[in-house]
Structure 1
Amino acid sequence: MSDYLIFQNNQLIWPVTLIAVLLLAVFIWKEWSSDRKNKIFRSLFAFFAILSLALMALKPVKNISTAAIKAIILTEGYDENHLDSIKNINDAVNIYNYKKGHSIFTKSNKPSSAIILGHGLKSFDFWQLSNIKTEYLGGTEPTGISDLKYEQNSFVDNDILIQGLYYNATEGNKLILEGQGEIAIDSVKLDSGKQSFKLSHRLKTPGKYVLGLLEKDSLDRVISRNPLPINVIATNALNILIVNSFPSFESKYLKNFLISLGHQITVRSQLSKGKYKYEYFNTARRKVPSFNQESLKQYDLLIIDINSFNGLSRNASRSLKSSIQEDGLGLFVQPNDKFYKSFNPMISLKFNSDGRKETELENFSRTFLEKYPYRFSNEFKLEPILASSSGILTAYMRLGNGRIGSTVLQNTYQLILKGNSSIYQHIWANSITSLSKKTVSSTSWDTPG
């Protein structure tokens, strides 16, 4: 179909034409009845001026016909009705049936554009669509498990959360999570249609496991089985110092979580100017040392809020920096609103405003986390710990032998109050392990049997 000119104000063509002709006739009659010179030039000028005014009133546009669809690629799950609708509009369209791992086109019949119907091509076949303009229209909903997410690496005594979506479930069927010896450890009943599901388990021994995700019908017959490899990492007991300018719920729940993992915890919370509260867990009661390099050697990680960090004396700051650089002490800075707008040469973490106060953690979709309206600047030396689709959430930078990290998340303790303990454990277990100067022990494979 060729391109052509149309007018947006098509209904005004005749009135505008009539007025334009009358104006031109009057102008020409007036010019040629006078004794002025350059009558031809002045008449042409009038013609183009009136024509321009007429076109401004009619608003001409160029109608460009869209190129006809050259091909339709049918993949598993395509809708016949959808295909028929496209064929009715495009008579000369070529249809290709896709089989994974097989060539769709030959060199002589490769189209310039194509529509893809169904569930789509496998990622290893995407190369066949190079230099082809494609439009994906989808198809019928798939049947079975989709969007399966879980963390393959976990820690001893942390909940392993398996979640996903199930499409077109048969009512009465159930999903079962199997552990060692094919023993059912968690299950969920399926309703008809589409539904989300969550399964969880806690492993108390380090090692590499293979759990099983099964679907069974109402007669307990196995319909499908999917292996889920899990690497459970042993956590060494760490000696952690927590310093806060005031008691907070965030530090309280973090302290309880670290205690449950068997870490040695010393907490100093400021009650008022010059007055502090000291707490000791899984360790002997002793005076919290001053910030000098020798006394800090006993600790593997320092968790300190930004107010306490900014309140350190110059000598304490130098000692802390030396402990990080030379002894490998880990430092986690608990932020506040002002933290992201300031710059400290020792911390050297940089942030950009993103205006977002909520986010979703990778592998834990549909659970929103509260955050400050900032994100990490993705610099070369920055090493992420936690991320989401919107950017890095928790990260650190190396300083000599140690690491300095922080986060844009806030009020993570609310995850526990809302029943999302596994996500809370995931956030802090990964953060603590990544920053601490101690390393985890090696593990070996264990399989069900």
Structure 2
Amino acid sequence: MMEFSYLIIICCLAFASFLLYKEIRRRDKSRLLWRIVASMLMVGAFVFLMFPVRYNTKKNEPIHELNLLTEGASLEAIKALKANVYTLDSSVFLVNKKKKITYLADLTYHLKTHPDIRKINIYGYGLAEQELKTLADYQIYFHPAVIPTGILSVSWPKKLNISETFIIQGKFHNPTEKKIKLKLYGMGRSLDSLTVKTKGMNNFSFSTQPKHIGRAVFKLIALQGNDTLSIDPVPFEIVSEKPISVLILASFPDFEYKFLKQWLYENHYPVAFRSQISKNKYSTDFLNRKPVNLNRLNSPWLKDIDLVIIDEDELRSLSLSDRATVYREVSNGMGLIIKAAKTGLGEQPLISDSTGKTMVSIKLSGMGKILTTTQSSTYQWQLVGNQMRYAKFWSHLFEKASRKEIPFYSFEVTPKWPSVYEKSTIKINLNDYKPPLVLIDSIPISPRQNMELPFLWDGYFWAAKPGWSTVSINRKVTYLYHYKRTDWKAAKNFAKLNSTVNYEARQRNSVVNFDEVELHAEEEISKWWFFGIFLLSISYLWYEQRFLANK
């Protein structure tokens, strides 16, 4: 096409040159200027007939609005809408098919092709955060649905060690007058349950101690009488990691240390225990590990220790060299738990009691952490049969304080519940800048490098089936769970509701409302103008040649 255009232009230039030559060589020199102008206008008009002339223009037009239905929109709201109604949700489209609702596969594309739309009315639970980011240049008016019934927020550890307690917590909304029973089901039996009160928001928390290693999917079931309101999957993985190596330095043996040693032994922690009998004389004990000489603390041996537990009396009695060695290893990543009468100044509270008094505090020291606990009689929890509280307390302290291995990579998947047939994003944090080899269910993903932070990469994928999927990053395999689109429906809708409400509130303070929109359009000059010029020019040349030149 481009070569043809050039050919036409060259031919027209050659023809114009020929006409100019003929006019100049003609014997009759009268009206020469008019003949040359008419010849050039004729050729120019012919060129513009072949190639239309376009120009950019601006014009103000009244804004148009788009009515967008999402899940949860009321029937009354749909009936009241007289203008065209659209939806991005195929389920909403199928349910309201008879109500003349148009399904949009891509909202961004539709808005690009309809630049006069500047106002969007959203009905129902709203849009997700990523979808709202594409609407920054539009006026958003949100007509929210009522808060959904069910689990509105929930959290649980996706991966934990076999010695850790599995805890799932969240909020349940029950707008009815009837009580609802929540049940945590797993391993073929009911693990825990509670009753949700009527009319309002209710916090819930379940805990259990899994004994298996590997992946599992518990279920959180909501029941109201004989009706099952929801069954949502709770996937997680129990890993058999390298157990935390613990060193206990006691000023004297007491019940607290006795019960702690027994709990550590039963949970397979390698433990070295040293208790002072008299000055420079110690009693030692070794559980789940080989014995070593504990009379002096040295750095090579402490490099294999993940956590030191010591009381403040023993810490004061340490020699200067031993104390310096302990703090040097803490700065290199080893954890330190100090049993003291009160927490230190400038430390952040980690655990507080019901009155707000700090029970455990934490502070950073180089690459390690120092925890100070005032709890000196946690063994009493075991005496009264509250083993779960005891395990939860010490597991939490160990998890916060112990030495951490620096992983070769870490990754995060968004949204929170990656579902089948929906776009998901994987964000990878690497230790180097080399492009990672990423496979999800053996399907390669092409990651994109962050221009500002070159160790960050991201990529997109769409899951084809629910359940566990393999994620391979540089040949290291881990697992990711994909949900059905109906899983955790109330929580998903509540998250969209909050996101859209917050987005509208932020936008109200930053976007100026307007009644007209300035459109940038490309106009084309009518070819009739050039046809008229061509006709007048050729008519003048004919008339001049036929009648005037003979006078």
Note if 1:227 corresponds to 2:233. Answer: yes
Contact 1:146–1:166 at 8 Å: present in 2 too? yes
Alpha-carbon distance in structure 2 between the residues aligned to 1:425 and 1:261: 12
Q: 1:427 aligns with which of 376, 382, 396?
A: 396
The AA in structure 2 aligned to 1:430 is E
Change (3 A) 1:412 1:226: farther
Alpha-carbon distance in structure 2 between the residues aligned to 1:289 and 1:330: 20
Q: 1:315 aligns with which of 309, 315, 321?
A: 321
SS at match of 1:121: coil
Compute the displacement of 1:232 (Å).
0.9
Q: 1:289 aligns with which of 271, 284, 295?
A: 295
Partner of 1:406: 370
Note if 1:184 corresponds to 2:190. Answer: yes
Q: 2:213 aligns with which of 206, 215, 238?
A: 206
Superposed CA RMSD in Å reads 5.5
SS at match of 2:107: coil
Alpha-carbon distance in structure 2 between the residues aligned to 1:367 and 1:153: 29
Alpha-carbon distance in structure 2 between the residues aligned to 1:371 and 1:297: 31
Q: How does 1:142-153 map to 2 (within 5 A)?
A: 142-153=148-159
Change (3 A) 1:155 1:429: farther
Partner of 2:335: 331
SS at match of 2:322: helix
Compute the displacement of 1:281 (Å).
6.6
Change (3 A) 1:322 1:250: same
The AA in structure 2 aligned to 1:178 is Y
Contact 1:268–1:276 at 8 Å: present in 2 too? no
Change (3 A) 1:106 1:292: closer
Partner of 2:309: 303
Change (3 A) 1:97 1:421: farther
Alpha-carbon distance in structure 1 between the residues aligned to 2:328 and 2:279: 26
Deviations 1:327-364 (A, max 9, x none): x88332538778555xxxxxxxxx7x8xxx6779xxxx
Whose radius of gyration is greater, 1 or 2?
2
Q: 1:111 aligns with which of 89, 114, 118?
A: 118
Deviations 1:344-397 (A, max 9, x none): xxxxxxx7x8xxx6779xxxxx999864898xxxxxxxxxxxxxxxxxx67674
Partner of 1:167: 173
Q: TM-score, normalised by structure 1?
A: 0.51
Partner of 2:464: none
SS at match of 1:106: helix
Contact 2:158–2:236 at 8 Å: present in 1 too? yes
Alpha-carbon distance in structure 2 between the residues aligned to 1:72 and 1:415: 63
SS at match of 2:118: coil
Contact 1:300–1:330 at 8 Å: present in 2 too? yes
Relative contact order: is structure 1 or structure 2 higher (C-alpha 8 Å, sep ≥ 6)? 2
Partner of 1:57: none
Where structure 1 has 5 or more consecutive residues not aligned to the other structure, the ranges are: 1-69, 88-92, 342-350, 361-365, 375-392, 399-403
Partner of 1:263: 269
The AA in structure 2 aligned to 1:234 is S
Alpha-carbon distance in structure 2 between the residues aligned to 1:117 and 1:408: 52
Q: How does 1:9-408 map to 2 (within 5 A)?
A: 75-77=70-72, 99-100=88-89, 102-103=106-107, 106-107=111-112, 108-111=115-118, 118-132=124-138, 138-168=144-174, 171=178, 174-180=181-187, 182-194=188-200, 195-216=202-223, 218-219=225-226, 222-243=228-249, 257-268=263-274, 274=279, 280=285, 282=287, 288-293=294-299, 296=302, 299-304=305-310, 309=315, 312-317=318-323, 319-320=325-326, 330-334=334-338, 339-341=344-346, 371=358, 397-398=366-367, 404-407=368-371
Deviations 1:184-203 (A, max 9, x none): 33333445434333333321
Change (3 A) 1:98 1:443: closer
Compute the displacement of 1:162 (Å).
1.9
Compute the displacement of 1:156 (Å).
1.7
Compute the displacement of 1:161 (Å).
1.7
Alpha-carbon distance in structure 2 between the residues aligned to 1:309 and 1:247: 15
The AA in structure 1 aligned to 2:230 is S
Partner of 1:377: none
- Name the % identity: 18
Alpha-carbon distance in structure 2 between the residues aligned to 1:303 and 1:172: 46
Alpha-carbon distance in structure 2 between the residues aligned to 1:172 and 1:406: 45
Contact 1:149–1:164 at 8 Å: present in 2 too? yes
Deviations 1:251-277 (A, max 9, x none): 787656534423243445679x95998
Contact 2:259–2:379 at 8 Å: present in 1 too? no
Contact 2:339–2:376 at 8 Å: present in 1 too? no
Compute the displacement of 1:238 (Å).
4.7
Partner of 1:4: none
Compute the displacement of 1:294 (Å).
6.0
Compute the displacement of 1:215 (Å).
3.3
Compute the displacement of 1:316 (Å).
2.3
Q: TM-score, normalised by structure 2?
A: 0.43
Alpha-carbon distance in structure 2 between the residues aligned to 1:409 and 1:110: 61
SS at match of 1:158: coil
Compute the displacement of 1:242 (Å).
2.1
The AA in structure 2 aligned to 1:218 is G
Contact 1:160–1:422 at 8 Å: present in 2 too? no
Contact 2:214–2:239 at 8 Å: present in 1 too? yes
The AA in structure 2 aligned to 1:131 is D
The AA in structure 1 aligned to 2:185 is E
The AA in structure 2 aligned to 1:289 is N
